[in-house]
Amino acid sequence: MLAGCTIGDVAEDIPADVMSSEDGPAPTRGGVASEENNTNSGEITATDLQDLALPDTTIAVAGVGSTQEVSVPAWSTIKVPLSIAAVRDGYADMSALTSAITVSDNAAAEQLWEGLGQPEGAAEKVERVLSEGGVQTQVSAQVTRPGFSAFGQTMWTTEGQATFASHLQCLAGAQSVMEAMGSIAGGQNYGLGQIPGAIYKGGWGPNESGAYGVRQFGLIPRGDGTFAAVAIAAVSPDGSYESSQVQLDQLAQKLSERAADLPATECSSS
């Protein structure tokens, strides 16, 4: 039984003893510009980001900045540094790692978390990964909302996520995680997932009032063989998961159209 979900949809984070992935309403898909249609209007600025943002959304681009932050916990986006920490710790259950990322399986993520030791120690290991990615964020080690994972309630800003994504290709233990991020399951491939070649992870769930917040972060192709590091988040205008998906579709469309104008990540796997 799900706790904390008051509007009828399946919440993203579920108790560890419920062996299922994060099912939710099918996404409402929107179009996205192809690389050939990218509009190169000059290097994007923080002011441009403000123009691209929608009400109740945040856009962050590494090397540029972010718009005003909306309050959405990390949810399953935290599974990226968690999975990297698990690889580094020698807990390389690739089946669990792949499921935690590609289908956002919560039980698999709990398995990775528990493999890192006691909650406080596990949180510290994830924090070390974040720190190497240029981010100082305290990972939640204790359950703060019954029915939801401890780590999923970590408060991780979109700007911090974009910064972390910009270091992702050079982080030890990240290769297998990035491969999984490039193979996100259908039904979760809205937003950044509609940009061909995107490497990303999303997270979603209801706030205390039951309204859904959705977020994604990762790398999107710039059209020249390099990537830009971005993060987007939205709080649903009507409380539904579907509406927040539409918001991310629209943000991804805007970013895709300006992909060539976004700064390339300084860290590259090449």
* In the predicted structure, residue 10 carries a pLDDT above the cut 90: no
Q: What is the mean pLDDT of residues 151-171?
A: 98
* In the predicted structure, residue 77 carries a pLDDT above the cut 60: yes
* In the predicted structure, residue 91 carries a pLDDT above the cut 90: no
pTM, to two decimals:
0.87
pLDDT at 83: 98
**Identity of the amino acid at 111:** Q
Give the model's confidence band at 270: pLDDT under 50 very low, under 70 low, under 90 confident, else very high: low
pLDDT at 267: 84
Give the model's confidence band at 22: pLDDT under 50 very low, under 70 low, under 90 confident, else very high: very low
How far apart CA 156 and CA 74 sit, in angstroms, is 6
**pLDDT tens-digit series, residues 197-225:** 999 999 999 999 999 999 999 999 999 99
DSSP letters spanning 182-220: TTPPTTS--GGGGSTT-EEEEEEEE-TTS-EEEEEEEEE
**pLDDT tens-digit series, residues 101-146:** 999 999 999 999 999 999 999 999 999 999 999 999 999 999 999 9
Domains and CATH numbers, the chain: 37-261 (3.40.710.10)
CB 70 within 8 A of CB 58: yes
Centroid of chain to Cα 174 = 15
How far apart CA 59 and CA 49 sit, in angstroms, is 7
Give the model's confidence band at 15: pLDDT under 50 very low, under 70 low, under 90 confident, else very high: very low
Percent of the chain past pLDDT 90, that is, above it, reads: 81
